[in-house]
Structure 1
Amino acid sequence: MLTEFLRDQCFTTAWFGLMAFVWFGWSQEDPPRSRRVWLGVGSGLGVAFAAAFGVLTALNWDQPTALQGRYVWFGVLVAAEVVAAGLGCLLLARRGRSRWMAWWVAVVVAVHFLPLALFLHDVGVAVVGVVQLAALGWAVPRVRATTTTSSRVAGPVMGASLLLSAAIGAALTLPGL
């Protein structure tokens, strides 16, 4: 979002759009009726950002990337994220607390944005992670007060923050193309 690397900027915008689609989709697991249309609109907008900036990523693939020479460490970070999310969900399932899975995965994703920002030389990615962590902390008492799935809260938090970040990334990228 705030990187000097055009290819990374386009890819991050596309990826945030795709992940907004995913999180809005997960939040449709158990939504209040009044949010269903908005969750669908968010999903659609996420797909639009993913498609448009996926094409722009491909068109700018020959541009430099902050990940050059660090792909292995990037892979280690992503693998650690997947393992942490998976193990946490397994533990939650075994303890009969599977309704917290979406919240747990959201926390892992938000935390992973902090080192990812270092890899990408993009403080904007860290800001997204910090905002998400704060919102997910705010959500804990709301999830505890109900018996519904945490996707009802975590999905919109993650989807909206990623969609907004994709929009900011697009606004910063398009004038320079």
Structure 2
Amino acid sequence: MLTEFVRDQLFTTAWFGLMAFVWFGWAQEDPPRHWRIWLGAGSGLGVVLAVAFGVLTAMNWDQPTALEGRYAWFGVLVAAEVVVAGAGCLVLARRGASGWMAWWVAVVVAAHFLPLALLLNDLGVAVVGVVQLVVLALVVPRLRGTRAPSSRTAGPIMGATLLLSAAISAVIAVPGL
């Protein structure tokens, strides 16, 4: 992404690769047949980035991080994200709208990138979150018009934006190593 901290750059690349794998995987819940190869390829590329940059993160763990002195706030942010996503899914399930769970979790994840960007001193993370929130808002009318689970739409949106962000981050990070 756009940080001066090498370790954070490498970790964010690895994490976004892993999360691209997860979101493309969730998108495989009920995809149109012609999407399957692309979702699988996205998952595979996400894993490759996660493993490669996970190793690079481990090799650079002694480098400074923007989270120094902020680990507790990072923990609070992640805990809040999990609670809000889980509570929203519980409400959706009780209302018989479980098909919207993937979309809801995607909105929570995208929104959490905004305060996370402040903690990491990384504008790129905020840009990813804003792009995701805008696209997720734009697909609401389409989701209302279908009975398909929202993972069919939210999964590729999140997977593609995270994979693209990880790839951009990788291109930025590698020359600096």
Q: Tell me the SS of whatever aligns to 1:29.
A: coil
Any residues of structure 2 matched to 1:113-128 within 5 Å, and which?
Answer: 113-128=113-128
Q: Distance in 1 between matches of 2:56 and 2:3?
A: 16
Q: Secondary structure of 1:41's match? A: helix
Counting matched residue pairs gives 177
CA distance in 1, matches of 2:70, 2:123: 18
Match of 2:106 in 1: 106
- Measured after TM superposition, the shift of residue 3 of structure 1 is 0.2
Residues of 1 paired with 2:136 and 2:86: CA distance?
Answer: 19
Name the structure 1 match of 2:79.
79
Letter in 2 for 1:160: A
Structure 2 unaligned spans of 5+: none
Q: Is it true that 1:45 corresponds to 2:13 in the alignment?
A: no
Question: Aligned letter for 1:19?
Answer: M
Deviation at 1:139, TM superposition (A): 1.0
Question: What are the Cα deviations for residues 154-175 of structure 1, in whole angstroms up to 9, with x where unaligned?
Answer: 0000000000000000000001
Give runs of aligned pairs for residues 160-175 of structure 1, distance below 5 A: 160-175=160-175
- Give per-residue Cα distances to partners, 1:27-82, cap 9 Å, x unaligned: 00010001000000000000000000000000000000000011001000000000
TM-score, normalization: structure 2? 1.00
Specify the alignment match of 1:70 in structure 2: 70
Provide the C-alpha distance between the structure 2 equivalents of 1:140 and 1:53, rounded to a whole number of angstroms: 34
Aligned to 2:30: 30
User: Where does 1:86-165 land on structure 2 (aligned, <5 Å)?
Assistant: 86-165=86-165
Report the Cα distance in structure 2 between the residues aligned to 1:145 and 1:95, rounded to whole angstroms.
18
2:18 maps to: 18
Unaligned 5+ segments in structure 1 are none
**Structure 1 ranges of 4+ moved more than 6 A:** none
Question: d(CA) in 2 for partners of 1:139 and 1:9?
Answer: 30
d(CA) in 1 for partners of 2:32, 2:103: 17
2: CA distance, partners of 1:139 / 1:46: 24
Shift of 1:107: 0.1
Query: Letter of the aligned partner of 1:159 in structure 2?
Result: G
SS at match of 2:140: helix
Question: Who is 1:59 aligned against?
Answer: 59
Q: Matches of 1:34 and 1:142 in 2, distance apart?
A: 19
CA distance in 1, matches of 2:87, 2:156: 23
Letter of the 1:32 counterpart: P
Work out the CA distance in 2 between the residues paired with 1:33 and 1:109.
27
Q: Percent identity?
A: 77
